[in-house]
Structure 1
């Protein structure tokens, strides 16, 4: 039941995995015999790698009696394939055990494994996630922006969102909630643009190394090497189309990241050497423009123009990617912004006349 993106995600960045409808359709087609397990999470938990998902699933469905082949035939096929035979056989047998006793029942048998320390994956049980409240969203983004820059920067974000929440509007509570949530999400996205300081901070964060150690055996620098493919605007060469060319950097970049992350306070100041590029100036301008939009919406949004107001608030979500890809998406978003602003202001004027 793990969600795996399809090719649709490549052509449609807003594509969302239709988990609920997919499960519903399967249940309707198969009936009561339909079962869901997160085989990928179980493979990672039990065997350390998602690559063993398929043999684990094979063991599961064989134990259920859904594969008309003998146990000996399947074991022999795995042996003849001659690829990670021991691990694939173990995955097959784990799948059988899960089918027989359920995902949670295998946990006591995991003595000495990573699974004993972390427990069975959450996906082994059906968890109903409650939607995040607006207050929780604002608080989470404020914490993120504090780490990104500082508390004053986060306060600027919180004040802007509160201005739309406290303004007097002749719109329904549901519309007001949708508008405020759109602003809370998209303003945070614009304010936390991925510049050199932020990239450095994320790599320097101990959580990055912890994730590496949890996913791979050994230690970085000893048992495996880290390589980074970067295109710093001040250093990278350009191709014949003017696009920056990424270059490989070695493990020493981790030291550079830790050092650079300490200078995030220079962001946006006269001493910010990275902030003088056209791309960084553009990103700061997007933040200023959006804050100006929020002020305008707080003053004039009403029941007549709430629809274009919400569309305007959500517009930054269309600005995706990096480099020339982001430039193309931004150009399209700017055109749509002009159209939506004309519509918003026109309907605001009509409401005043009425």
Structure 2
């Protein structure tokens, strides 16, 4: 009876344990049911060939296949559908018989072509299908790590093979920076990539199978090879003068490049180049904007702007391993986050412990979410599974706030068990290349993380700290790693971690320094914050300060008379929200960047370059001056390059601003200048007309009308296009206001 009673007691305890475990699991799963606040979708690397090669003529359609080009389906480029490796285009063979469309393009990488894609081309030829294969020769099997093609496949051999298959219509398009031997292609027509759209338009009219071989080396491979001295590294960089920049985003439209990052200023969001990630593709320069300057002899400042003397740091209490200690590492692909997982596993082996690690990085791209799961145990046999399951994470090393606060990551954590250190830097996503107003909800992401882990999460801007102390944000992940160890989240000795960093062999001294700086930053957050932002200029905060800033700005631009004209309208408005809208919108119209102002602003370029780079770089300005510029195939004026000698004419032109708006202004008769002056007159008339109609019902529409000029950004054709869109919005808003707010429209919502 006693034995039987003991069995029942043990069974009851087991049942209670199972129930408790299920309850804990249910609690951990709650994050999985929530909708993601933001997502870090995979994106092409900066300078990736696909940024250019996947562009299509208007009205065309393309298919994706296996390869990095698959990501174009998330980029609004009329590429839909995909198929298995070697089946590229085979789906169109069947679909074409039932479609009113006569032709499609099919993307195909050189690795897939070499594997089995050539069979799909042969099938399309046999079926007499109207299709153009765009074969990217990027000299790497990029999606799986950059291996060489088997058999040393090169672009001339691809051309020879498709010609032997029976393809008659073939063209080679290449990036002019590539070392292409035109003689190797025989009589096949050769075009620079600027002509890609024209080539595609012609090929779309061709009956049967045609092939465009596009030659541009994989950007990730360029970066790797340049580090090893195996690929030419041009002595050329792109710099954006943010004072000139209008924030129109045309550079992102032209390049689709994630190295173009936002720069917040009092006069709106501008653009800057992230020199740490730029792969020197230079297609951003095509953006119709005079703010782009190319530099030769410019060296990124690698020396820290601030020297930190790290005091003696206390040793943390290392956690006790109970079975396995489970670590989740998150970050952005291409920033070195995978290295942290490798160092962690290596350090565990040095300490005589078992370690199991797996990486979930998705495609071989920069910009996408990366998850690394690592289990550490006293004995290897204690590790039965590597993947960290729901609620099992003991430590979260967060290289990126977006990925760390995502439901996929939060579901692995559990309040009371998981400790975290996360980089709070606002790393922009690829969506910024297409949406000039795109904002990441970082406040909500931070709140979600803190709500989940309570007091067991530490956040600091490791990217800014790395730039300030080491000259490069690439060390931010190592800083977060050091901070996590200092917080007692890693059950490994300091000596083993230092040895593992040394064995990794990459920038050893700086990585060891980054690890120590991370330890210091998490212990002394206020000191770290002062180091990060020692020279930041405080922007105006109150409405009166913002108005005063703009009055002073207009005085520097034209004179006191223009500032008085601005103040007369703004100061007459009492409603705070409307007053702010008019203050911003009216200033935007009065301050149009004509030739005199662009010249005045470009005079400061050399000083701005000196702040970011070492040495005495050679400056080249990329401009499209009226009269002197030819019209390109896209109907837009083509840019020309002008050397540093232009700084003299800039000085002379800037002093001629007194001609602005007068009958003697030689630039005042252009269509763009006439448009800008008419917009000012129109705005003043609109405000005079609508301000007496201000009621609760019309308030939102009038505010939207007052802010509308902020959308008229850019230069030349870009500005004219934005003005046309704004004109349609203006009519909608005026209709709402004149009806007393009774109509519904996007403006009134």
TM-score with structure 1 setting the length:
0.78
* 2:437 matches 1:38: no
What SS does structure 2 have at the residue aligned with 1:245?
A: coil
Total equivalences in the alignment: 318
Match of 1:113 in 2: none
Match of 2:558 in 1: 149
* 2:627 matches 1:216: no
Quick one: which of 121, 134, 158 aligns to 2:532? 121
Match of 1:50 in 2: 473
Alpha-carbon distance in structure 2 between the residues aligned to 1:231 and 1:293: 33
Aligned-residue offset at 1:292: 1.3
Match of 2:701 in 1: 308
What SS does structure 1 have at the residue aligned with 2:739?
A: helix
Pair 300,231 (structure 1): closer, same or farther in 2 beyond 3 Å: same
* 2:735 matches 1:342: yes
Kindly report which structure 2 residues correspond to 1:18-167, keeping only aligned pairs within 5 A, or say none: 18-67=441-490, 71=494, 75=498, 78-79=501-502, 83-102=506-525, 104=527, 120-122=531-533, 132-165=541-574
Match of 1:4 in 2: 427
Quick one: which of 653, 656, 659 aligns to 1:260? 653
**8 Å CA contact 2:483, 2:522 repeated in 1:** yes
Match of 1:297 in 2: 690
Alpha-carbon distance in structure 2 between the residues aligned to 1:179 and 1:14: 21
**8 Å CA contact 2:697, 2:742 repeated in 1:** no
Kindly report which structure 2 residues correspond to 1:185-200, keeping only aligned pairs within 5 A, or say none: 185-200=584-599
Alpha-carbon distance in structure 1 between the residues aligned to 2:640 and 2:499: 46
Match of 2:365 in 1: none
* 2:607 matches 1:184: no
Pair 339,59 (structure 1): closer, same or farther in 2 beyond 3 Å: same
Aligned-residue offset at 1:210: 4.4
Pair 201,69 (structure 1): closer, same or farther in 2 beyond 3 Å: farther
Aligned-residue offset at 1:69: 5.9
Stretch of structure 1 that moved more, 318-327 or 256-265 = 318-327
Alpha-carbon distance in structure 1 between the residues aligned to 2:700 and 2:720: 26
The ranges of structure 1 where at least 4 consecutive aligned residues each deviate by more than 6 angstroms after the TM superposition are none
Aligned-residue offset at 1:146: 0.9
Match of 2:292 in 1: none
What SS does structure 1 have at the residue aligned with 2:622?
A: strand
* Structure with greater proportional helix content: 1
Pair 227,69 (structure 1): closer, same or farther in 2 beyond 3 Å: farther
Aligned-residue offset at 1:100: 4.0
Aligned-residue offset at 1:290: 0.9
Match of 1:170 in 2: none
Structure 2 residues without counterparts, runs of 5 or longer: 1-423, 744-749
Pair 130,259 (structure 1): closer, same or farther in 2 beyond 3 Å: closer
Stretch of structure 1 that moved more, 136-145 or 60-69 = 60-69
**8 Å CA contact 2:736, 2:742 repeated in 1:** no
Aligned-residue offset at 1:6: 2.0
**8 Å CA contact 2:460, 2:525 repeated in 1:** no
Pair 183,79 (structure 1): closer, same or farther in 2 beyond 3 Å: same
Pair 26,294 (structure 1): closer, same or farther in 2 beyond 3 Å: same
Q: Write out per-residue CA displacement over residues 44-92 of structure 1, whole angstroms, 9 at most, x where no aligned residue.
A: 2212333433333333233334456665665556556655443333323
Match of 1:226 in 2: 619
What SS does structure 1 have at the residue aligned with 2:635?
A: coil
**8 Å CA contact 1:301, 1:348 repeated in 2:** no
Match of 1:173 in 2: none
Aligned-residue offset at 1:43: 1.5
What SS does structure 2 have at the residue aligned with 1:347?
A: coil
Pair 24,259 (structure 1): closer, same or farther in 2 beyond 3 Å: same
Pair 227,63 (structure 1): closer, same or farther in 2 beyond 3 Å: farther
Stretch of structure 1 that moved more, 80-89 or 19-28 = 80-89
Alpha-carbon distance in structure 2 between the residues aligned to 1:59 and 1:256: 52
Q: Write out per-residue CA displacement over residues 197-226 of structure 1, whole angstroms, 9 at most, x where no aligned residue.
A: 222222224xx54443332233xxx3x222
* 2:638 matches 1:245: yes
Pair 226,67 (structure 1): closer, same or farther in 2 beyond 3 Å: farther
Pair 102,343 (structure 1): closer, same or farther in 2 beyond 3 Å: closer
Stretch of structure 1 that moved more, 92-101 or 190-199 = 92-101
Aligned-residue offset at 1:281: 1.3
Pair 130,189 (structure 1): closer, same or farther in 2 beyond 3 Å: closer
Quick one: which of 610, 629, 654 aligns to 1:236? 629
Aligned-residue offset at 1:24: 0.8
TM-score with structure 2 setting the length:
0.39
Pair 68,203 (structure 1): closer, same or farther in 2 beyond 3 Å: farther
Pair 342,30 (structure 1): closer, same or farther in 2 beyond 3 Å: same
Quick one: which of 677, 692, 717 aligns to 1:284? 677
Alpha-carbon distance in structure 2 between the residues aligned to 1:302 and 1:55: 56
Aligned-residue offset at 1:336: 1.5
Q: Write out per-residue CA displacement over residues 172-200 of structure 1, whole angstroms, 9 at most, x where no aligned residue.
A: xxxx2111110111111121122222222
* 2:624 matches 1:201: no
Pair 82,238 (structure 1): closer, same or farther in 2 beyond 3 Å: farther
Alpha-carbon distance in structure 1 between the residues aligned to 2:533 and 2:675: 42
**8 Å CA contact 1:60, 1:95 repeated in 2:** yes
